[in-house]
């Protein structure tokens, strides 16, 4: 029998694939056209009605939210978003549980083949509220140890990334597990910091590590590390990298207290860490990253571009619905945070701070960070 790689083993059956496609299409509709129709509802009906009664528009999302709650279209949207999330975990869970035994057996065979490392910290206290939060409503959350199924937590997360990639048509020409976000982040780094040639790289909040792989592929001579609070994600990340033959170094730790020496890294990146950790720890995370950067080193975080000034009122209301109902508890806390000010308090000089919105498809990502000891070409004003 052929010994399939982990990448080859993640292959939904025909029927599973049909269900994944259905969920992807349902999500695409609910989060796309249906959500957009709430903008129209607001501008044509909700806001004019409120204005007629009060002589002004609703002041903010708090005042606008109850106006939406009695609307059948909003109720339909919320029901569809909630149900599609359930369907996603059911259909991805079906695939992951089916392939898990072969996946684990293969990982056990290839562990150690690439020379990467896995450092777990069983005594690390998992901070609240993140420890007891099931982000994205992932069954078991990010920290479930699934004792007999060590790779299931990472595999479930991975499966949803694949489902979204397929729904966006991104998987047709790219292999399973393609680190597309890492490539995008690297393209932004290349655009703003073409001189950066990192020898040591850290991916903060690297989750299952599939994007960390992209950093190593782009800088094969660099030492590449990934760090996350979640032990199950670190186990998955190690298995995935070893199976690809890439010597990466994964560590379970809190991004506020990483344990690496001062000035250890030339490049620190994060992808969607900052909206998945509670916003009041961001100053400590940025201060730790500042400590870890070598002179000339760069911290660059990529995250959701949902700052209220950029969003319609309807979109602010629906985003906050996701906080209350759909496993995105830190979304608006992050979006409401004035991130460049936190970077300044963490030690980055005003002229070292980076903040910019960078296009991706029809949307954009928010990039923020700083370069130690170098004036940033992209100043706060650009944000
Ligand atoms: C949405 S996931 C992103 C994973 C990965 N960067 C990716 O793009 O696939 C966010 C990750 O941040 C991690 N995280 C949240 N707070 C953290 C903290 N204080 N220290 C380290 N990791 C943290 C979570 O465990 C989770 O794996």
pLDDT digits (tens, 9 = 90+) for 20-30: 999 999 999 99
Residue 146 has pLDDT above 80, yes or no: no
- Provide, rounded to the nearest whole percent, the portion of the chain with pLDDT above 90: 85
Taking Cα atoms as reference points, which of 115, 149, 95 lies closest to residue 241? 115
- pLDDT-derived band at 147, boundaries 50, 70, 90: low
Taking Cα atoms as reference points, which of 93, 89, 75, 71 lies closest to residue 30? 75
Domains of the chain: 6-114+142-167 (no CATH), 180-382 (3.40.50.150)
Q: Whose CA is nearest to atom 4 of ligand 1?
A: 207
Please state whether beta strands 200-204 and 353-360 pair in parallel, antiparallel, or not at all (unpaired): unpaired
Taking Cα atoms as reference points, which of 124, 109, 123 lies closest to residue 5? 109
What is the token pair recorded at 335? 């979006």
What pLDDT, in 10s, does the model give residues 181-229? Answer: 999 999 999 999 999 999 999 999 999 999 999 999 999 999 999 999 9
Q: Whose CA is nearest to atom 16 of ligand 1?
A: 277
Ligand 1 is surrounded, with C-beta below 6 A, by: 130, 142, 181, 205-207, 211, 228-230, 233, 254-256, 271-273, 276-277, 281
Given this model, what pLDDT does residue 170 score?
Answer: 81
For a ligand 1 pocket test, name from 207, 257, 269 the mutation site with the most ligand atoms within 8 angstroms of its C-beta: 207
Residues 314-332, mean pLDDT to the nearest whole number: 93
Q: Please state whether the peptide bond connecting residue 129 to the residue before it is cis, i.e. omega within 30 degrees of 0.
A: yes
Q: Whose CA is nearest to atom 8 of ligand 1?
A: 271
Given this model, what pLDDT does residue 148 score?
Answer: 60
Helix (H) or strand (E) holding 117: strand 117-119
Residue 43 has pLDDT above 90, yes or no: yes
Given this model, what pLDDT does residue 375 score?
Answer: 60
What pLDDT, in 10s, does the model give residues 169-185? Answer: 887 778 899 999 999 99
Q: Are 138 and 208 in contact (CB under 8 A)?
A: no
First-to-final CA distance of the chain? 54
What is the CA(53)–ligand 1 centre distance, in A? Answer: 45
- pLDDT-derived band at 362, boundaries 50, 70, 90: confident
Given this model, what pLDDT does residue 380 score?
Answer: 45
Given this model, what pLDDT does residue 261 score?
Answer: 98
Given this model, what pLDDT does residue 382 score?
Answer: 43
User: Higher pLDDT residue, 344 or 147?
Assistant: 344
What pLDDT, in 10s, does the model give residues 257-280? Answer: 999 999 999 999 999 999 999 888
Q: Are 228 and 252 in contact (CB under 8 A)?
A: yes
**Mean confidence (pLDDT) of the chain:** 94
Q: Is the pTM of this model over 0.85?
A: yes
């Amino acid at each position: 029998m052929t010994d399939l790689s982990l990448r080859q083993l993640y292959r939904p059956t025909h029927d599973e694939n049909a269900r994944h496609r259905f969920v992807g299409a349902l999500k695409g509709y609910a989060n796309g056209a249906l959500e957009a129709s709430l903008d129209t509802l607001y501008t044509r009906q909700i806001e004019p009605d409120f204005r007629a009664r009060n002589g002004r528009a609703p002041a903010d999302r708090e005042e606008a939210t109850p106006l939406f709650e009695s609307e059948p279209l909003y109720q339909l949207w919320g029901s569809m978003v909630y149900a599609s999330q359930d369907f996603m975990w059911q259909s991805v869970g079906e695939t992951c549980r089916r392939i898990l035994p072969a996946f684990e057996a293969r990982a056990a065979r290839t562990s150690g083949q690439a020379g990467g490392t896995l450092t777990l910290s069983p005594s690390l206290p998992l901070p609240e509220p993140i420890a007891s939060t099931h982000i994205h409503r992932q069954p078991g959350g990010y920290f479930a140890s699934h004792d007999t199924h060590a790779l299931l937590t990472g595999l479930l997360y991975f499966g949803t990334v694949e489902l979204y990639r397929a729904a966006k048509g991104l998987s047709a020409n790219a292999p399973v597990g393609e680190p597309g976000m890492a490539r995008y982040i690297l393209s932004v780094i290349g655009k703003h910091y073409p001189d950066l040639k990192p020898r040591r790289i850290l991916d903060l909040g690297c989750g299952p590590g599939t994007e960390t792989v992209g950093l190593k592929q782009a800088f094969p001579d660099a030492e590449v590390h990934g760090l996350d609070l979640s032990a199950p994600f670190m186990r998955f990340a190690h298995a995935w990298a070893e199976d690809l033959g890439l010597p990466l170094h994964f560590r379970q730790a809190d991004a506020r207290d990483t344990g690496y020496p001062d000035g250890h890294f030339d490049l620190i990146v994060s992808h969607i860490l900052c909206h998945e950790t509670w916003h009041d720890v961001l100053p400590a995370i940025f201060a730790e990253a500042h400590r870890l950067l070598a002179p000339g080193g760069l911290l660059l975080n990529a995250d959701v571009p949902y700052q209220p000034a950029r969003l319609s009122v309807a979109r602010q209301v629906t985003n906050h619905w996701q906080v209350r109902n759909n496993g995105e508890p830190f979304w608006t806390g992050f979006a409401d945070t004035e991130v460049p000010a936190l970077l300044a308090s963490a030690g980055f000089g005003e002229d070292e701070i980076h903040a910019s919105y960078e296009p991706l498809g029809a949307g954009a990502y928010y990039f923020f960070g700083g370069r130690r000891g170098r004036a940033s070409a992209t100043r706060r004003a650009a944000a």
